């Protein structure tokens, strides 16, 4: 992050990898993220999914969500909305607000499941208090649709 020294993303990725190889789930997730966006290293979706899965094997809820995202988008894996939905549910079960938000989107749009506006509303409302996601407009639209 550059606090106390010059920011060096390549060096950060190197240290994350050293820690990830020692089975740190946090560092495994960070390695997946670095590979996913190409932060400090060349973008590589295959490596991203590898490291996200390593972190997920240790119960990392952010890794669950990221794997879901990769399945939703077809990044490094064959696009599969049903698997995306499963991974988002795993994340949401760990009280991960990104999982809540992504489930809201999946149910709203009918990806990996039948469209279910009531479920979408439920998940968006869970995500709302965190302030991380701007879901107020989504909630308003869904409530209007459900009460029309």
pLDDT value for 12: 75
Separation of alpha carbons 99 and 93, rounded Å: 8
> Is the confidence at residue 39, as pLDDT, over 90?
no
pLDDT value for 28: 95
- Residue 71: which of 57, 54, 52 has the closest Cα? 52
Separation of alpha carbons 4 and 145, rounded Å: 52
Domain with CATH 1.25.40.10 in the chain: 1-58, 67-148
What CATH superfamily classification does 1-58 receive?
A: Tetratricopeptide repeat domain (1.25.40.10)
pLDDT value for 3: 60
For residue 6, name the pLDDT band (cuts at 50, 70, 90). Answer: low
Q: What is the pLDDT of residues 50-94, one digit of tens each?
A: 999 999 999 999 999 999 999 999 999 999 999 999 999 999 999
pLDDT value for 137: 94
Q: Which residue has the tokens 């590589």?
A: 44
Q: Is the model's pTM score more than 0.85? A: yes
Q: Which fold has domain 67-148?
A: 1.25.40
């Amino acid at each position: 992050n550059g606090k106390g020294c010059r920011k060096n993303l390549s060096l950060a990725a190197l240290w994350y990898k050293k820690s990830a190889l020692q089975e740190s789930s946090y560092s495994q997730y960070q390695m997946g993220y670095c590979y996913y966006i190409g932060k400090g290293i060349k973008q590589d979706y295959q490596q991203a999914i590898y490291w996200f899965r390593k972190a997920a094997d240790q119960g990392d809820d952010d890794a669950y969500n990221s794997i879901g995202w990769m399945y939703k988008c077809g990044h490094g894996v064959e696009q599969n909305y049903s698997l995306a939905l499963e991974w988002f549910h795993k994340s949401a079960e760990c009280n991960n607000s990104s999982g809540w938000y992504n489930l809201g989107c999946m149910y709203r749009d009918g990806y990996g499941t039948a469209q279910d506006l009531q479920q979408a509303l439920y998940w968006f409302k869970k995500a709302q208090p965190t302030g991380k996601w701007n879901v107020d407009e989504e909630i308003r639209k869904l409530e209007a649709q459900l009460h029309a």
